[in-house]
Amino acid sequence: MALIVSAASGNFNAGGTWVGGVVPTIGDEAQAANGHTITITANANCDLVSNTGTGIFTLNDGVTLTANVTNKSTTASRNCLQFTAASPAVGFIVGNCTGGTVSTAQGANNSGTGTLNVTGNSVGSSGAFSVGVNNSGTGTTNITGNVTAGSGSNAHGAYLTTGILNITGSVTGGSTSTPFGIRLEGAGTLNITGNVTASSVSGGVSHLSTNGFVNITGNVTAGAGASSIGVFNESTGLVTINGICTGGTTNGAAGVRNALTGTIRLTRAVGNAFGPGNTAGLAAAPGAANVGLGVIEIEQLEYGTFGQSPTTGTGIRFKKVGSNVAVFNYCDTAGAKTLIDATANAAMPASSDVRSGVSYASGVRTGSCAVPSASSVAFGVPVDNTTGTALLTGAAVASAVWAAATRTITGGTVDTLTNPPTVPTVVQIRQEMDSNSTKLANLDATVSSRLAPSGTLAVVTTLTNAPSVPSAASIRAEIDSNSTQLAAIKTKTDNLPASPAATGDIPSANISAIKAKTDLLNTDRLAQVSTVSTTGAQLAAALS
């Protein structure tokens, strides 16, 4: 990598600014020499920008510097790069920012009210307070990358006094006891989206402000040293952690620690693996420790594998939320038992799944599910946690069915059957009776047996309901008055001549033939023909 040193203060992209007139580019290190201020007014691209003495780079609004920024000055309290523009100005650095080897030798500093965006890591160095990125103004600095503390005293990975510092990435402690991954020391707001991890000797985040805010979305883990605190709330400020805070391996290395009267809010506190049967190399370390008179609000608790408490101190409060849980480890077997908040929606059945009237969830809820009792369910059929005991009979079913239906045969509505029966017609019924009825056959035999073998009817006794038999006179009168045939015959006979032989209407030969036939009739048979009166008597005898 070629080192190109500034020849004078000036524009980064001007040849006259650099020794030899060569503007630094990819593969070069651009260095601001003592007393020179190099202004980056247009996008610039090289491998590294650095400084010596009081040399410094100034990044203008709307400009992107694509290069790593490292402070190499031996002059204390001198930044390598500064962004001083006022809001709504925005500057961009695509590369890592690293502090220097002397006191307060910062890699990049946003001292204005505008916004500085850094896409890269921010790393502290060996000089005291030689941080990677510092937001000393009231503007906003956004770092998309990891932040790591250095080895110098308070050589934090990033530093915030006022304004806003947003981190998207992990935050890690340094290699000596005093630097933190990030320190907030003023009325600023620190927002971290990523995990915070203390190193073996130093902490992850320090909140030293009385009125600042720290918001972390991620897990916090303490380290192995007494100062290896995950998040240390050293004053009266507020810290909110949406994640799990776990104790380290050394006594005092808590996941979070509240030192004075500040407030810490976190999702879960977890004790470390210290406890009976597992003490080698470990000391008791809780997930949350309250050593002052402040308050720690926790939603969930988890005891360590060997029973280490997740919290120590007073002022520990359990925040009531739907995600409340408490995790304990079994003493006689491996594994853990998780206790949940009885009011947690995700862990409790819905009211519609609990029998109506049953109180559950510590009395907070009441079931509404309509489950029939076992006595109302058929015998042997599963119902909730038992089986039905009701005995159903055909009579009971029929009674219930007909009682529930409206079936008026006359003048009402008859329920329509799903499978209606086939009803025979009157003709079919008569035919069936005629061909198969033994009753009718017996009736015929009985009537026939009442006739004498000679055909002469027996004596008829008095009938209970005797038929009305017409007399001979009434029969004759009926015939005389109604028979068209007799009337026609009468008409014919009335028209006959008085002397057929004389007129020739009826030949005498025909009359002679008729007489011959009548003479042959058997008078004995005619004598035996029943009269109307005798016929009626015979019918009455047969029906008696």
Chunked mean pLDDT (size 10), the chain, 544 residues? 96 97 97 98 98 98 98 96 98 98 97 98 97 97 98 96 97 94 95 97 93 96 93 95 95 93 96 86 93 94 92 93 86 77 70 86 82 83 83 72 55 52 76 68 55 48 62 73 64 60 55 69 53 60 62
List beta partners, residue 311. Answer: 288
Neighbouring CB atoms inside 10 A of 232's CB total 25
Check: CB of residue 91 under 8 Å from CB of residue 83. yes
Find, among 333, 278, 276, 326, the residue nearest to 303 by Cα: 326
* Strand (E) or helix (H) holding 532: helix 532-543
Any idea which residue has 């030192």 for tokens? 259
Any idea which residue has 């038929």 for tokens? 467
List beta partners, residue 182. Answer: 158, 205
Residue 102 gets which letter from DSSP? S
Burial-class residue 351 by CB neighbours within 10 Å (0-12, 13-18, 19+). middle
Cα separation, 275 vs 306, whole angstroms: 5
Neighbouring CB atoms inside 10 A of 41's CB total 16
Q: E strands within 372-492?
A: 382-383, 386-387
* Strand (E) or helix (H) holding 526: helix 523-528
3-state SS class at 103: coil
Find, among 158, 181, 266, the residue nearest to 229 by Cα: 181
Check: CB of residue 68 under 8 Å from CB of residue 49. yes
Check: CB of residue 177 under 8 Å from CB of residue 151. no
- The contacts of residue 128 (CB under 8 Å, 6+ apart) are 103, 104, 152, 153, 154, 155
Q: What is the pTM of this model?
A: 0.67
* Strand (E) or helix (H) holding 487: helix 484-494
* Strand (E) or helix (H) holding 474: helix 472-482
Check: CB of residue 177 under 8 Å from CB of residue 152. no
| Residue 281 confidence (pLDDT) | 81
| Residue 324 confidence (pLDDT) | 87
| Residue 502 confidence (pLDDT) | 46
| Residue 536 confidence (pLDDT) | 60
Neighbouring CB atoms inside 10 A of 536's CB total 19
Cα separation, 155 vs 189, whole angstroms: 20
| Helix, strand, coil percent content, the chain, rounded in steps of 5 | 20, 30, 50
Check: CB of residue 173 under 8 Å from CB of residue 202. yes
Neighbouring CB atoms inside 10 A of 201's CB total 20
- The contacts of residue 505 (CB under 8 Å, 6+ apart) are 496, 497
Write out the DSSP string of 334-358: SSEEEEE-TT-TTTS--GGGSBTT-
Find, among 94, 108, 178, the residue nearest to 136 by Cα: 108
Q: Which two tokens stand for residue 436?
A: 């198969």
CA triple 122-242-145, angle to 5 deg: 15
| Residue 473 confidence (pLDDT) | 78
Cα separation, 432 vs 426, whole angstroms: 10
Q: Which two tokens stand for residue 349?
A: 């059945």
Counting Cα atoms < 13 Å in the Cβ hemisphere of 366 gives 2
- The contacts of residue 31 (CB under 8 Å, 6+ apart) are 3, 4, 5, 6, 49, 50, 51, 52, 55, 72
Largest CA distance in the chain: 184
* Separation in Å, CA 439 to CA 428, 449, 539, 543: 17, 15, 22, 17
